Amino acid sequence: MPTLSLSQTAQAIASGERSAAAVLETCIARIEATDARVNAFTGTRFDAARAQAAQVDARRACGEPLGPLAGVPFAVKNLFDIAGEVTLAGSKVNRSNPPATADAVLVQRLQAAGAVLVGSLNMDEFAYGFTTENTHYGPTRNPHNLDCTAGGSSGGSGAAVAAGQVPLTLGSDTNGSIRVPSSFCGIWGLKPTFGRLSRRGSFPFVHSIDHLGPFADDLPGLALAYDALQGPDPLDPGCFATAVAPTMPSLAQGVQGLRVGVLGGYFDAFATPAAREAVSLAADALGVHVAVQRGIEWPDAAAARAAAFIVSASEGGQLHLASLRTRAADHEPLSVDRLIAGALQPAAWYVRAQRFRRLYRDKVNALFRDWDVLIAPATPVAAPAIGSEWVHVNGQRLPCRPSIGLLTQPISFSGCPVVTSPMWPGGTGGLPIGVQLITAPWREDLALRAGWALAQSGVAQVKETAL
């Protein structure tokens, strides 16, 4: 049978064209055939998934109503709680923790919509990294080139979708951890507005910046999943949503009536020619032809990135201070020094960074008086080789791992929602580079509309791998 995308799978199961059990077995076979090479999964729960799929098929056979994601297989970054399993968050330190007593809220919501949970996914330890080069569980490899990184920290989430193992995954994004794997793996990703989705039942990295969101293999499926994830959560003080704001009904409008622009300045300076070509492809497809619509300045981008580093290191270091004091050797070698340094930062730095953040958000939000959607590259480069220590960006030799987030950190520090769209410029050896579709807070619908326009134009697409 031909491979179906997320939205096509949901439609096929709802119509009875395919059974949830058959769809699941196809995914299980794909995982078993490919994951020894990709290393996206750290745990599977196939028996439980088969029971869930059987329940979907039984409800359909009885004529009972099905949820919008009925029978769609999904997996989650291993910082989401799964009842009965230890929440690893990519670490060795957490292995001795007791199993979770309940599923994370977002896992519950996908299952309430009928989706079938098949397992948990690899990540950078404690979500502190951009490459998923995890010393404890091995690196996740890019399905388009197994020598290259899948990005991070949600690398397993990006790779599992790109490899065709599952059509839907969940990840987290503090400084770019949904957008970077989406860019490197050539799939769709959504970082919602800060505070839009409940984080209850997920292991934190930086409480004041963490976002949770979905990855998908098609744009309508991304919107379908996002709508299922929405909803207030009075038990999560970091969830500010008061109502569901469905996005599916407006997708077909595309960018009609929207003011679309392209970010320049900082976002040009730290983009390679291939990344700029990805932006040009997207801009042309969205009708950005007038010079005034290109080269828009995002305020204080470099300062925002510096402040994001300070906040991330400080909060991350404090969160893990006890284990850093007693079990430093059990932490990820690639990040333990940064956590220790963060724990030792002066409190005045953290306070100053957070004060700046308030002023920064006001400046960013003012941009959206004139623009509805802003386009920027998601990463400066295509996926580098695993183990790379340096990247070259416009004549500059930069440290690889932190520099991968050059173009994502300023955006998440503002809290704005972003859809990452898979683009395929030249000069990358066949690897993708994504573009960010950025909108004002709480306007995920506009970013998804722009993504749908790119998908319809054909310039944004998810390509099958040669695995």
Tell whether omega for the bond before 153 is within 30 degrees of 0, i.e. cis. Answer: yes
Using alpha carbons, select from 397, 161, 369 the residue that is nearest to residue 272. 397
Q: Given 91, 154, 157, 177, which residue is catalytic?
A: 177
Query: Do residues 336 and 223 make contact, with C-beta atoms less than 8 angstroms apart?
Result: no
Query: Do residues 162 and 186 make contact, with C-beta atoms less than 8 angstroms apart?
Result: yes
End-to-end alpha carbon distance in the chain: 17
Q: What residue has token string 């569901």?
A: 244
Residues written for the chain:
467
Query: Do residues 75 and 117 make contact, with C-beta atoms less than 8 angstroms apart?
Result: yes
Q: Any catalytic annotation for residue 335?
A: no
SS3 203: coil
Q: Which are the contacts of 282, defined by CB distance < 8 A and separation ≥ 6?
A: 375, 421, 423, 435, 437, 454, 459, 460
Backbone φ and ψ for 101, nearest 5 degrees, come out as -95, -15
Paired sense of beta strands 141-142 and 145-149, if any: antiparallel
**Rg (alpha carbons) of the chain, rounded to whole number:** 20
- Integer Cα distance of 340 and 330 in angstroms: 13
Tell whether omega for the bond before 280 is within 30 degrees of 0, i.e. cis. Answer: no
Q: Given 91, 153, 208, 312, which residue is catalytic?
A: 153
Dmax (CA) for the chain in angstroms is 64
Sort residue 387 into left (φ over 0), alpha (ψ -120 to 50) or beta: left
Q: Any catalytic annotation for residue 91?
A: no
Q: Any catalytic annotation for residue 153?
A: yes
Using alpha carbons, select from 108, 100, 94, 68 the residue that is nearest to residue 81. 100
Query: How far is the CA of 348 from the CAs of 209, 314, 359, in angstroms?
Result: 19, 11, 17
Count how many Cα atoms sit within 13 Å of the Cα of residue 119 in the half-sphere of its side chain: 24
Active site residues: 77, 153, 177
